[in-house]
Amino acid sequence: MATKSLEILIDEFNRLPGIGRKSATRLAFHILEMSETEIDRFALALKSAKEKVKRCSVCGNFSEEEVCSICRDEFREKDTICVVEDSRDIIPFEKTNRFKGKYHVLNGKLDPLNGITPDKLNLKKLLERVANNEISEVILALNPDLEGETTALYLTRLLKPFEVKISKIASGIPMGGNIEFADTATISKALEGRQEL
């Protein structure tokens, strides 16, 4: 039988994505075995990550500065924007070393049934970037599932009036698969084989 405080701790771990009851219990018991110093370090890491990490005011990526390091990078191509759902999706693209443009993080994808309507996404800034800068291509790199496809279609219609080239990364990532976990070769191929919409 777990005590009340332990029960609360298990519940908190259980709330995290991918952590079931069993793993949550294991983690909570592990916490009890940690020293004061380790606990303080852990708690501080949680608090300072939450306090210091913000969204880049240009692209929506996580950053500790007002503008993230990718947006600030003078050597990157300014005229190509790769649109991703999540900050985590940037990592596999960066790993390929092939993409030299900039990114835009939507912070989700359209899912009206679950209340994710266009106003919930980081779309206004994307339109501003396309309208104000000399953007020649917008690459849509959304996950290959129903919501990703819906979002890509919506973006295509939204961006059409700007006379910008809109392309979509080639499939290769299986339907229902996840960009975040795709390997470098798959991402490189998907980027190279992108098709204009």
Residues within the interface to Zn ion (CB under 5 A): 56, 58-59, 61, 68, 71
Cβ closest to Zn ion, residue 28 vs residue 140: 140
Q: How far is the CB of 75 from Zn ion (least distance, A)?
A: 15
Cβ closest to Zn ion, residue 68 vs residue 179: 68
Q: How far is the CB of 2 from Zn ion (least distance, A)?
A: 43
* Nearby residues of 93 by Cβ (< 8 Å), 6 or more positions away: 82, 84, 99, 103, 141, 187, 191
Cβ closest to Zn ion, residue 68 vs residue 187: 68
SS3 call for 139:
strand
Q: How far is the CB of 132 from Zn ion (least distance, A)?
A: 15
Q: How far is the CB of 192 from Zn ion (least distance, A)?
A: 24
SS3 call for 158:
helix
Measuring CA to CA, which residue among 45, 50, 2, 49 is closest to residue 24? 2
Cβ closest to Zn ion, residue 10 vs residue 81: 81
